[in-house]
Amino acid sequence: MNTKQMTIKEQLQEREYELLSPYATKCKESKGRKRPRTDTFEIRTEFQRDRDKILHSKSFRRLKHKTQVFLSPYNDHFRTRLTHTLEVSQIGRTMARALRLNEDLVEAIALGHDLGHTAFGHCGEGTLDELLSNGFHHNLQSVRVVEVLEDMNLCQEVVDGILTHTWGYKPKTPEAQIVQYADKIAYINHDIEDSVRAGIISEKDLPADCVKYFTSDQSTRLGKMITDVITNSMDNPKVEMTEEGWFYVTKLRTWMFDNVYLDPVAKAEEKKAKNIIKSLYEYYTEMLKAYYSEEEIPQIVTDYISGMTDQYAIRRYLDLFVPSPLAEHANDDALLKKARERK
């Protein structure tokens, strides 16, 4: 084909066949979107479009004020959900580039994988999970964000990667497999660094055999985990760690749960956060009874609360439950407007 007659998009698509692994997901072979595009700007591949749709979304911007592990209002140096997402993206892109897989698809999945996370991190997720009869899972809510709440009309491969980024799901593409590992590698390493900074643990507290295998140096440990995935997956259809590497990653993750994620000192503030989520849920559930059926209300309230940042959830709680005549009141215009239109 004459490249002078090809659009930029077509040239990029052809380049994928020249440069990428036979196992890579080619954009030209995508299973497509629910609805065809209506614009005619042929300068990006479909996966690049999806990456940009996510990057420019409101839900992505809100990640900067959502907790990763430590409640973000207390220290600007701790990771937030946004910085975690960027680290997952960078780790994923590094692995994709080395394995000659589709870097654009990896980046789109990584940037969108946590859009459905609640305020206050896993504490907020756990609280909603307790309140809802069908439970709450942030990966399912992330899919709901991109397919319903912001209706991004993404490619099926991107949606599948967002859905399956948590363990227990089977990704349909090697790029989604990369994000599964990138997510775990990112949070284990940056959570160790944040926990040391918070004074919860020190590097010498880490399991001795894990330190011996990965070293206690943050950069070296991170690099060894990434390299393990790359070297073990080179020229293979499946992306996975070595059995030994996976053993020590899992052991380190279990240790973090016992000593950080579930530690009563580290999680003391989460009792307050849990009360905020629970109180807001009960308040909005009662408020909407005049507008919606009993079956509709849980999902509507869940969508609203799960989209809140830490700061907004705290602000709404203060406005609703703490008397303060001098407070600068926020409001629930979006939720109320929707309810009133329904009525």
Q: How far apart are CA 129 and CA 116, in angstroms?
A: 13
Q: Is 218 strand, coil or helix?
A: helix
Q: How far apart are CA 314 and CA 119, in angstroms?
A: 10
Radius of gyration of the chain (CA): 22
| E strand or H helix that includes residue 80 | none
Q: How far apart are CA 209 and CA 239, in angstroms?
A: 25
**What is the 3 state secondary structure string of 145-206?**
HHHHHCCCCCCHHHHHHHHCCCCCCCCCCHHHHHHHHHHHHHHHHHHHHHHHHHCCCCHHHC
Q: How far apart are CA 217 and CA 303, in angstroms?
A: 40
Q: Is 97 strand, coil or helix?
A: helix
Residues of the chain with pLDDT under 50: none
Contact 65, 309 (CB under 8 A): yes
State the greatest distance between any 2 C-alpha atoms of the chain, in Å, as a whole number. Answer: 71
Residue 332's pLDDT is: 79
Residue 327's pLDDT is: 53
- Write the pLDDT tens digit of every residue in 171-188: 999 999 999 999 999 999
Residue 262's pLDDT is: 72
- The predicted model scores a pTM of 0.94
- Write the pLDDT tens digit of every residue in 188-200: 999 999 999 888 8
Residue 224's pLDDT is: 97
Q: What is the DSSP letter of 307?
A: T
- Label residue 74 exposed, middle or buried (CB < 10 Å: 0-12, 13-18, 19+): exposed
Dihedral pair phi/psi, residue 132, rounded to 5°? -95, 135
Q: What is the DSSP letter of 260?
A: I
Contact 178, 92 (CB under 8 A): yes
